[in-house]
Amino acid sequence: MIHVPKVRPKLTMGAKGVYDMLATIVGAIILGVILGYLAKLILPGRQDIPAWATIGAGIAAALLGGFVAVWLGVGDTRGIDWIKHILQLVFAIAAVAVVARLYAGRGRGPGRTTARS
């Protein structure tokens, strides 16, 4: 009979893994806030969407743009990753536009005292 040793999966990431994960999460939130509001500034007209939707669209764009940049091979370069940031901004503009379009179809929500123009 052949003896197969039991291999236990490593359940801990270690300090570096936890630091990297937290840095990614905090970085995505900060970059998401910046990208979301920058996209609202770039888009023409008024985007009457709540702050949480703007930030959520920015976070999604930051993550998606980062994944696409890595997929294209430009996610981590020497110096500033300009192509990655441009991709993230393009995704943020698209995400804010989609969210604004979804909210434009709604009527007056709770707490609104004036009609939308």
Tens-digit pLDDT profile for residues 77-110: 888 888 998 999 999 999 999 999 998 877 555 5
| Measured distance CA(16)–CA(20) in Å, rounded | 6
- Closest listed residue to residue 97, CA positions, set 31, 59, 42: 42
Answer yes or no: are the C-beta atoms of 57 and 42 closer than 8 Å: no
The pLDDT of residue 22 is: 86
What pTM did the predictor assign?
0.71
Which amino acid type is present at position 80?
A: I
Structure token pair of residue 77: 């370069």
Tens-digit pLDDT profile for residues 36-57: 999 999 999 888 899 999 999 9
Who has greater pLDDT, 9 or 69?
69
DSSP 8-state class, residue 110 = T
Who has greater pLDDT, 40 or 112?
40
Average pLDDT of the segment spanning 56-70: 91
Who has greater pLDDT, 117 or 40?
40
